[in-house]
Amino acid sequence: MQQVNNPKTARTKGRLSQLLETILTSQGGYLADSLYAFKRTAENDVKLQTIQSDKPTKLRWLILSREHYFETTKEYPIANKRDLKQALRFDDNKAPFDGITLQYIERINEQSHRVTFWVISPKVIDDLSYRPWLIFPESYLLAMALNTNVNLATIACLNKTLFISKTGQGIFSGVQSSQTANIESFAFSTGSPINTDSEQQLIAKRDDFPGLLLTGLKSLNPTNLPSFLVTIDDFNWQSYPWKQAGIIASTVFTVYLALSSGWLVVKQQQLDQQLSDQKAQVNQALTLQKAYKQKLEWQKLLAEPLNNSLPYWNTWPIVLDAASVGATFTAIHYKNSKIIIHGTADKSVKATDVLAKLSENTKVDSPSFSQPVRKNRNKENFAITFSFAKQLPQQKALQEIEQTAKQTTKQVTKPAVSGN
């Protein structure tokens, strides 16, 4: 069963992941010479499709091409990140023009941080019909999409060729131009080491470009998203889709109520089933208890005639036990609920030895000489009287068995409670 369910689970997760990716890509786009949207082909590939200008699109996130922003990296010898953010508010030397500034902060060591700035021209955003919530620099996403062992990359974009290098000083990018005609000149200008190892260089074709953008987008850490969030000062609250947000919130709340109600109904049915099963067990236990009580009462009625009778058959084991000391018994009498035994003690024993032997027996109560001991030719003739003990070991064992049976009955009557 496990082997059958695993492929189904994998297909379900794959479809869910594809659905979420489709929803995510439908909310954003790519801005280069024109505005593009992400589309998935029948072969499950990703491509960029131009958005018609006569069809206004409201984008939640946007990827900017490298020519639309100024990129720079600085190091600050400030250990505390909060103090660094305060210092960045007074640092105006970030770009040759003013615009929307995105910044990504990363710690170098315990005493310093590195900050990457992307300054976007306000005209680029103002030309859009809708202000996006998140803006991602193209170079940053492509760098995130590269494998860890890749230091240099040449990527053919839609309308340009982009160079990217990862060094100890940070991530650098640049568009191919007459000054940087190839990857070697770009690496020389940025101080990147040139390695002939093919595994440390990447040459991406134009068909691979949309997939690299989405790979970099999906590899982002959620904690880094605030770095690319458009600030409140630059955000146009009048253009916020309040109606759509209300519809989404109402839909989510309705689905939550439906799911929670269904869950409560299922749990109620499970509890009812448990109570029904326990009720049957309780009824069965009560029936057994009633039958046991009836048998116990019937046993008491059968044993009642024997409660006041003495177990005279125990006389023979008692006499045989007393004779083991070397005495000879000549007669046994019963008088007034007492047993009288007559006997003769040999030369090796005395009548008192027989009396002591009877005193050690737990079935004997108050043994004593009923008449004086008489001596005849080195032998002693005696008569000893005794009665049976009020509670014999057999009767005590029966009482213990009865108490144990009562305790077992009480435990049976308790219903077993089981929970999921």
Instruction: Look at residue 311 in the predicted model and tell me its pLDDT.
Output: 65
pLDDT at 24 over 80: no
Average pLDDT of the chain, as a whole number: 79
Q: What angle do CA 238, 239, 241 make, to 5 degrees?
A: 110
Query: Which 8-state DSSP code applies to residue 61?
Result: E
Higher pLDDT, 241 or 141: 141
Which two tokens mark 18? 């594809």
Report the CATH architecture of 19-160+203-239. Answer: 2-Layer Sandwich (3.30)
Q: DSSP strand E in 196-260: where?
A: 201-204
pLDDT at 166 over 50: yes
What is the phi/psi pair of residue 311, to 5°? -80, 80
Kindly report, residue by residue over 32-74, the tens digit of the pLDDT.
888 888 888 777 778 888 887 766 667 788 888 888 889 988 9
Its pTM stands at 0.50
Q: Quick one: pLDDT band at residue 196, thresholds 50, 70, 90? A: low
Question: What CATH class is the domain 312-391?
Answer: alpha beta
Instruction: Look at residue 377 in the predicted model and tell me its pLDDT.
Output: 80
Q: Quick one: pLDDT band at residue 137, thresholds 50, 70, 90? A: very high
Instruction: Look at residue 308 in the predicted model and tell me its pLDDT.
Output: 59
Instruction: Look at residue 3 in the predicted model and tell me its pLDDT.
Output: 42
Beta-strand relationship, 46-50 and 28-31:
unpaired
**Sign of CA pseudo-dihedral 315, 321, 322, 327:** positive
Distances in whole angstroms, Cα of residue 59 to Cα of each of 25, 27, 29, 38? 10, 6, 7, 12
Domain boundaries, the chain: 19-160+203-239, 248-303, 312-391
Q: What angle do CA 80, 82, 88 make, to 5 degrees?
A: 105
d(CA 367, CA 362): 11
Instruction: Look at residue 18 in the predicted model and tell me its pLDDT.
Output: 65
Kindly report, residue by residue over 378-418, the tens digit of the pLDDT.
888 889 898 887 754 455 555 655 666 566 555 544 544 44
